[in-house]
Structure 1
């Protein structure tokens, strides 16, 4: 069945998947061979509105009823909020099936007090810390030094975790303890289904940032199969501004559910982080050292490559990417790459990241995350500078987690035939479906309490 996907551009847009209507040209057919098929979402010919309605055979995308998270319920031992742990953050880097970095700040540091994280596979409600099977001491992350004693951040680097397991944890710091929170480790095998969020550019509007965070929290509350957020960079306006980082951390608490579910962050270095390398390292780590901020990680069936568009894309980074890709392509189920500055922009000019395109194409990457443009976009499947439904790679982005959106000035480019480019805050959702005969990624975008632009990527034959 041929699906014509219609869009009404604008902030209040609704998506209709018209089964019987024919949209105006150009209409790019993006059907791949059965073993490597993509169902393309939207035809947006230069912003024109295509006919179609639910009454004409369309299907309205699912509606998500967002709800404000309820206030936290703290344990009886939580006595003094002015001293208690706050600004909670959980980070994944190279081994999310077995490791996590748990961070927090303190409003006022008391000397000679203990700083620990207690973890258990069972819900303990924080009442008796001796019942938690794991106790991991914390150390200062380096943020206090980078911020001239303005923002102390403590971290516990937790190792030896079990894959695909829920861990409940409590932070003890300053003689106080946090509420009990929990997270789920990544699966280690390639047969477990799961979901991820993705998005970038949360930098310059804290109010809108909180709106997007609350939507993430609501989606996570409704669907516990979401495991983490892949952030595409530009967390804040100025990477060396510790007050902005403090505000971002406060705003980030809105992603936590009312039941204490914490969403791990996989971080990408953006251009607005430049100059704040020390702060970025203190919060999110630097797995390969030397302020490279590129690495690869595995989340179940996904091999995820995080690149750094703010240093040279040639030399050491390109060689690392080539070697890593060549190794992964031989055994990977899905490969996704992510970085900040777009190679196929909907706004601005192409970045130096175009240098990586041949490596992506040679190794048949499944999807690429881009940010920086402050628009919502999806390209046609691109291969060798042309739309190619057989071997092409779809590029999505470009940053809608809070920053003011732009007008998608490049929306008329050839690579948006069969795709779309509009100014719209958004959250990207990826569902890795491993239960079907052919494993697949189901991608869609959330905004205005609605899911839009469904896209299915079936496992490639590499």
Structure 2
């Protein structure tokens, strides 16, 4: 910590006392970690004017009076990035599991009182995290998710990249303005643990705005004396070489951690056909995750919702896209974005997918030494949810809308003899050989199949061989395949001219229901929608707009 010299501090206190009614020229506050979450914290803020600034803090609330706080610390680092001058005050030697109250003081005024809580350092404690990514350009949805952070009061926010759309100064200022909505009404801030996404044009932006411990944007944090280890990776730089060697060293270093989790941006196997496969991640990272017992992986980028069974890399008849279900030692993958970016069709499920969906969402993760629980919060539907308090942060508040694709509000991982086991997500009831269904907004799985509840997007109309798209130009189709292989969906004119074509992923024999997204066609024309497998027509529809 950089302490303020006594003479300079007295001068600053005198100036502040003469201007107590003046608001400080600081703002866009944020927290992050560079080291031990139990004993350190970094406070970042924009310092738009003035010459001197420091943070005054203590374990007791002191209002806006700097003299009421025993600790005064100046910036350790100042950056000029994205049109902002940002200061970072690095705090160390803090007490674990302790609330610290603070204000930011400059030579023009004082900020409002704020606070943070250091993480526990005991293995018998419980942690709460919010996880997600892809907040980009739909501000209203982004703001809903940010407000959920303020209501759910997590120990930290795991954010796997793509904060903005263009990575420019205007969007970053808006993003940080919206981030202030994560501050609870009592002034509590929550640390962000950021990764880099493909809409961050370089590593420098994340490093200069969040003061992460490694300028290459891969780093680890260890919580509760080895109860939980989180590794942040960078899928936007080479995944081999230095980063891969670092990953192996860190996982070996924390081999005795009870729970190990990684986060990065690009999904290895996206659950939408609109994103490319990341075979390099499958080749180089997935085997390392399996070897060192990574329990949970958070991915983003695809702008869909997914949760998987525990899986491991492998080939053979039981493999689907290079992975095999392994309840004993596999890794569970969750994601894939949905903090406010444009949503995509969840049309690429795998044999090892529990369920997928298409809605704005964040993950709410609870972890202790015995189990790890993952809840999916439907943020647009939860805007009227009640807040939790520090005493009940591990209870689901009234009005919180949770996604329950298999009838359980949480996917629960417990530790078996060899690794994590998914125990609270029973297998989906589906015909042998069929893929897991794509779960859509307002639709859940039941023992009898897909059952509509209260959809936020109207379901496409399908009646007597006629299909009509919904407002987002999505069409539901049903068909039965008798052979393993890809499925073609084509749209032709009455003159038999090809107008549009979609290739659905390969699947085994069985009945299927798929939602297919098309562009907007000219209205008032009847089109023919043909489903083909191995060159044979297996279903026909009349498509009407």
The TM-score bracket by the shorter chain reads 0.7 to 0.9
Q: What CA distance in whole angstroms lies between the structure 2 residues aligned with 1:162 and 1:460?
A: 33
User: Unaligned stretches of 5+ in structure 2?
Assistant: 1-16, 315-322, 383-400, 405-409, 419-545
Q: Does the alignment pair 1:155 with 2:100? A: no
2:77/2:89 contact within 8 Å kept: no
Q: CA deviation at 1:242?
A: 1.5
Aligned length: 362
Q: Taking structure 1 as the reference length, what is the TM-score of the superposition?
A: 0.75
Matches within 5 A, 1:66-215: 79-81=21-23, 84-106=25-47, 108-110=48-50, 113-126=51-64, 128-138=65-75, 141-142=78-79, 144=80, 146-147=81-82, 150-215=83-148
C-alpha displacement of 1:88: 0.7
Whole-angstrom CA distance in 1 between matches of 2:139 and 2:100: 30
Q: Distance in 2 between matches of 1:378 and 1:161?
A: 37
The one of the two structures with greater contact order (alpha-carbon pairs below 8 A, sep at least 6) is 1
Contact kept? 1:366, 1:460, Cα under 8 Å:
no
Q: Do the aligned partners of residues 248 and 78 (structure 1) sit closer, same or farther apart at CA in structure 2, a change above 3 Å counting?
A: farther
163 and 77 in structure 1: CA distance in 2 versus 1, 3 angstrom threshold: farther
Match of 1:312 among 234, 238, 246: 238
- Counterpart residue number, 2:319: none
Counterpart selection for 2:194 from 259, 267, 271: 267
Q: 2:166 aligns with which of 217, 238, 241?
A: 238
RMSD of Structure 2 on Structure 1 (CA): 1.9
- Check whether the contact 2:44–2:210 (CA below 8 A) recurs between aligned residues: no
Secondary structure of 1:271's counterpart equals coil
Between structures 1 and 2, the one with greater strand share = 2
Query: Which is greater in Rg?
Result: 2
Which one of the candidate residues 331, 341, 345 is aligned to 2:266? Answer: 341
Separation in 2, partners of 1:151, 1:244: 12
Q: Does 1:407 align with 2:345?
A: yes
Contact 2:60–2:100 (CA<8 Å) still a contact in 1? yes
1:327 aligns with 2:253: yes
The structural deviation recorded for 1:193 is 1.0
Identify the residue that residue 359 of structure 1 maps to in structure 2.
288
Shift of 1:409: 2.4
Shift of 1:293: 0.7
1:378 to 294, 298, 307: 307
State the Cα distance separating 1:95 from its structure 2 match.
1.9
Other-structure match for 2:374: 443
Q: Alpha carbons of 1:326 and 1:460: their partners in 2 closer, same or farther (altered >3 Å)?
A: farther
Give the C-alpha shift of residue 140 in structure 1.
5.5
- Could you state the TM-score of these two structures normalised by the residue count of structure 2? 0.64
Once residues 87 and 256 of structure 1 are traced to their aligned partners in structure 2, the CA distance between those partners, rounded to angstroms, is: 11
> 1:456: which partner in 2?
412
Query: After superposition, what is the alpha-carbon deviation per residue over 1:349-392, rounded to whole angstroms, capped at 9, x for unaligned?
Result: 32232120001111121110001011111112112321122222
Aligned to 1:279: 205
